[in-house]
Structure formats: structure tokens, C-alpha cells
Structure 1
Amino acid sequence: MGILPIAEAKDLAEQAGVDLVEIAPGAQPPVCRIMDYGKYLYQESKKKHDAKLRQKQIQVKEIKFRPNTDEGDYNIKLRNLVHFLEEGDKVKITLRFRGREMAHQEFGVRLLERVREDLDEHAIVEQFPRLEGRQMVMVLAPKKKEVKTGKSKENETELKTGSKNELTS
């Protein structure tokens, strides 16, 4: 509508049976819109609600190991770790020592290194193994998924070397 005096804008809004809403008060001149304010508030709250639903909450899942965890149990725990990481959750791996196991912490370090190597393609280490009382803790975060550009390898090499129809003599 252009730039109007406030009184004229109020009259237009009143004639239309809607409200005069100030959208950008900091602008020169201030930007106002003629609209139904209740409907506007409803749409804004709906947008915020939808954005909140689309947002992924990252959780920290915990898996507990022991220094002498058997192979079958290890594989099951590893499978659960892969599942959690693929869902996009962080994983806290806790290795609990009991009694004399504290004297042989190298077994725990080896186990955590094995877990790290087995999950190398799925996760990155966010917190390296450290001792907290009688347990050793390591935190893994899922690797970022690669975004495919849709170009084939042929197109990528074409961009690097020039045209693929060029002859080198």
C-alpha cells in the first residue's frame, strides 16, 4: 500500500474489520501490516510447535562393560552401540572395575580401544577413556553423514581435469 499516515492506516484496518499490526518497529518508517492479529499469533505458535517437533533431541545412551566381558556379550553390546549411533545418539561406554581388577586397568584400556576400533566407521571419540573412581568412561558421538551432491565420479574428474572430450597431444 505504501507509506501512509497512522490515522489513515487505522481507518483502513477498521473498515476491513482487522487489526493494524506493527511488524518491524525498528525500521524507518516502522513497518505495519493490516491483518487479523489473533490468526497471526496462532500461525506463529503453530510454526514454533512444528519446528520443535522436527528438531532431533540428541540423547546420551550408556552401555556398561566389565574388563572380562565375554565375546558373545561383547558382540551384543557392540550391536546395541551401532544401533544407538545410527539413530544419532551419543554413547557413553562405562567400564566398571571391581576388587582386584583395579590393579589391572590395562585390560580395560585394551577393551575400550577394541570398542573404538570396531566402531571406527560409525563414531568418533568425543571423550577419550578416563578413570572416574572405579570406572573408566569413554564417550562416542555419531559420525556426520556425508551429503551426496548427485554428481557422479566422472563429473568430478571432469571438473578437475577439464573437459573429458579434450585430447592430450
Structure 2
Amino acid sequence: MIISTNKASDIRINEQINSSQIRLIDHEGNMIGVVLPKQGLELARRVGLDLVEISPNAEPPVCKVMDFGKYKYEIQKKAQEAKKKQKVVEIKEIKIRPNIAEGDYGVKLRNARKFIAEGNKVRVSLQFKGREITHNELGFAVIQKFKADMSDVAKVELEPKLEGKQIFLVIIPN
């Protein structure tokens, strides 16, 4: 039976090891050397443990005499620690209008700064309604002002572009 883990490759133990030779490490961590898998399996059975292939890509593969359950637990624990340290970057969206009031603009700017400080991407979308699209230069002016006001804490990932009746800008932390 092949035990599947979070790793891309499966861990082979005991009789599943099908190499002609293996590099063996005993249960105390001492290097035994290059031996036949049968010899490694005999040593593992003598001490009541498993023969586990810990480095299948090496030439010859490295196998260690150890408790397989404990090894599997350690791998899971390491994967969990790595997952915990990972920072998920969210994309926060701020919606503005071409004729936004100065106070509202300040609030949107403050929120964008807060999102950037938390390490998130910010997508600024400016929506046109009705015939406002005929004066899209006003929208681009507001977006450019927003970009300039955020330039000290963020850099532009995606330049402002018009898609349908919206202008998008994506900024990321410096």
C-alpha cells in the first residue's frame, strides 16, 4: 500500500521500496552505507520499526529505519506550520464616482491606505452612470489623483484602463 501525503510524491515503506540498492541510515541516525533493500528491511524488523524512503530522488535512494507513524505526523506538522506562516493576499475593492465629494474622497483614500498597510492589494474602480462616460477624462483625472495620493505607500500593479463603463486601477504595497 502506498501512503499518500500532501507531498507530490508518495512515501514508500518496507516492501514497497523497489530500488536495487539503498543508502541506509539506522534508527539512531548513523549512516550505514549503500546496502540492498532486503538488508535494510531486516535491520528495521530487528528493532521493530519501518524502513522509510525519505529521499526517493537521490541516487541511490536514502532510506531510514524509523517509526513511520511518527514520520508521517512530523510531515503533517511541518506542512501545517508552513500553511500558518503563509500570508493570503486579498484584493480589496474601492468604488468611486467621477464627481465624488472631497470628504468622501478622503474616506476612500483613508480606507485604501488601511488596506495597503495590512498588505492587501487594492482595486480602485470608478463607475460611470448614464452619459457621464462621454466625459471619461474627468474619471481618469480622479483616478490619476488617487494614484498620486497613494504613491508614497503603494505602487501601481495595473495602470488605469477603461473597460465598458468602468475605469480600473490596481495598486499593491511598496
Q: TM-score band, normalised by the shorter chain? A: 0.7 to 0.9
What secondary structure, in the 3-state scheme, does the structure 2 residue paired with 1:3 have?
A: strand
Q: 2:107 pairs with 76, 98, 102, which one?
A: 76
Question: Any residues of structure 2 matched to 1:6-85 within 5 Å, and which?
Answer: 6-85=37-116
Q: Deviations over 1:35-81 (max 9, x none)?
A: 01111111101111111111111111100001111111111110000
Equivalent-residue separation in structure 1 for 2:141 and 2:166 (angstroms): 14
Q: 2:149 aligns with which of 107, 118, 124?
A: 118
User: Structure 1 unaligned runs (5+)?
Assistant: 144-169
Q: Given residue 77 of structure 2, which amino acid in structure 1 is its aligned partner?
A: K
Cα distance in 1 for partners of 2:130, 2:61 equals 72
* Residue identity opposite 2:172 in structure 1: A
Q: 1:29 to 1:100 in 2, by over 3 A?
A: closer
- How far off is 1:3 after superposition? 3.1
Amino acid at match of 1:82: R
Residues paired across the two proteins, number: 143
- Regions of 4+ moved over 4 Å: none
Q: Residues 42 and 110 (structure 1 numbering): CA distance in 2 closer, same or farther, change over 3 Å?
A: same
Match of 1:134 among 165, 170, 174: 165
Q: Work out the percentage of aligned pairs sharing the same amino acid.
A: 46
Length-normalised TM-score, structure 1 = 0.79
Which AA in structure 2 matches 1:69? I
Which has more strand, going by share of residues?
Answer: 2
CA distance in 2, matches of 1:26, 1:60: 39
Gaps of 5+ in 2: 1-31
For residue 28 of structure 1, give the secondary structure of its aligned residue in structure 2.
coil
CA distance in 2: counterparts of 1:61 and 1:23, whole angstroms: 42
Bigger fraction of residues in helix: 1
Q: What amino acid does structure 2 have at the position aligned with 1:24?
A: S
The aligned amino acid for 1:55 is Q
Q: Tell me how far 1:132 sits from its aligned partner.
A: 1.2
Counterpart of 2:129 in structure 1 is 98
Amino acid at match of 2:121: K
